[in-house]
Amino acid sequence: MTLTAQLLDGKALAQKMQAELAEQVRVLQVQRGRPPGLAVLMVGDNPASAAYVRNKERACTNVGIASFGKHFPADTTQTELEAVIQSLNQDDRVDGILVQLPLPDHLNAVALLNQILPEKDADGLHPTNLGRLVRGEAGLRSCTPAGVMRLLQEYEIDPKGKQAVVIGRSILVGKPQALLLLEANATVTIAHSKTPDLGAIARTADILIVAVGRPLLITAEQVKPGAVVVDVGMNRILDETGKGRLVGDVDFNSVQSVASFLTPVPGGVGPMTVTMLLQNTVQSYLQRG
């Protein structure tokens, strides 16, 4: 097999989109007298979450979105957080609210997410926005799957009529991803931990999206020659020297010789997720008037 995949460069597309958003925000805030605002709420000290939150806040600064983020100690109660969300719901300077997951065990994440006003639901995870996605209505879309769709579009990969396989069925990624592919007229299969013979299912895919959280889960033998492979996974592993490294769910080295297009990790889906969060915040800002 001599085919070598073309990279789906999420980092480059994210930079381009963020520059466009910055220009849009620069013009709009003069007209409207205020910038868009995003509140990222973080509870506890999970180092990976802290890094994601820093990334999101840095990206906000780059495009001119005001940050109203708050960092709470690990023992913050459900009632305290609900009160914070209620006050952000009322705050006219805030267009988007995001609760960084995972939360400490004593907190009920679903109940908290449900408190966010659907029109400020920057992560697109509120039942109203997920319901709109199921119904094919306009609404705020989950950032990671929306970022994957935007990346496919950039490389003129049209899912229409294609066999798409999504591995993973979480509310955060797998399920909304499958619905977005369906909306784009792909024929969609969803695989998960109870799927027997994952390889046989994966090999049917013209477009394979892997969102599991297991390093090297997908190797070249499980990929149809010429398939488009999108690796959503983000796994921190220790390399031979004991240094931490970020890898996806796909064995990049073997799959790049079989796939036609492939996302790198890092530099693929991750930067797109952050960019779609910024885009959702600007969309809410425009719609809220």
Ligand X SMILES: NC(=O)c1ccc[n+]([C@@H]2O[C@H](COP(=O)([O-])OP(=O)(O)OC[C@H]3O[C@@H](n4cnc5c(N)ncnc54)[C@H](OP(=O)(O)O)[C@@H]3O)[C@@H](O)[C@H]2O)c1
Residues 6+ away with beta carbon under 8 Å from 232: 144, 148, 168, 173, 177, 209, 210, 211, 248, 249, 269
38, 180, 211, 247: which one contacts ligand X (CB under 6 A)? 211
250 binds ligand X (CB under 6 A): no
CA distance 253 to 267: 15
Q: Among 38, 233, 264, 284, which residue sits at the site for ligand X (rule: CB under 6 A)? A: 233
- Return the number of the residue (194 or 243) whose C-beta is nearest ligand X: 194
Q: For residue 270, state whether it binds ligand X (rule: CB under 6 A).
A: yes
Nearer to ligand X, 273 or 284 (CB): 273
Among the listed residues 14, 66, 173, 180, the single contact to ligand X using CB under 6 A? 173
The active-site residue, picked from 56, 120, 162, 224, is 56
Size of the site for ligand X (CB under 6 A): 25
Sole window of 59-67, 112-120, 205-213, 254-262 interacting with ligand X (rule: CB under 6 A): 205-213
Query: What is the C-alpha to C-alpha distance for residues 226 and 287, in angstroms, rounded to an integer?
Result: 41
Written as six digits, the tokens of 32 are 């409207």
Question: Nearest approach, Cβ of 216 to ligand X (angstroms)?
Answer: 11
Residue 100 annotated to the active site: yes
Question: Rounded to the nearest whole angstrom, what is the least distance from the CB of residue 170 to ligand X in the complex?
Answer: 3
E strand or H helix at 231, and its extent?
strand 228-231
In the complex, what is the shortest distance from the CB of residue 248 to ligand X, in angstroms, rounded to a whole number? 8
Return the number of other C-beta atoms located less than 10 Å from residue 242's C-beta: 6
Q: Is 123 a catalytic residue?
A: yes
C-beta of 85 vs 172, nearer to ligand X: 172
Which CB atom, from 26 or from 192, has the smaller least distance to ligand X? 192
Strand order, beta sheet including 163-167: 6-7, 261-262, 228-231, 207-210, 163-167, 187-191
User: Shortest approach of ligand X to residue 217 CB, angstroms?
Assistant: 6
Contact call for residue 193 and ligand X (CB under 6 A): yes
3-state secondary structure of 89: helix
State which H helix or E strand residue 78 sits in: helix 78-90
Half-sphere exposure of 167 (CA within 13 A, CB side): 32
Rounded Cα distance, 106 and 116, in Å: 19
Is the CB of 41 or the CB of 146 nearer to ligand X?
146
What is the pairing mode between strands 261-262 and 6-7?
Answer: parallel
Residues in contact with ligand X by CB under 6 A are 144, 167-170, 172-174, 191-195, 198, 211-214, 232-235, 269-270, 273
Catalytic residues: 56, 100, 123
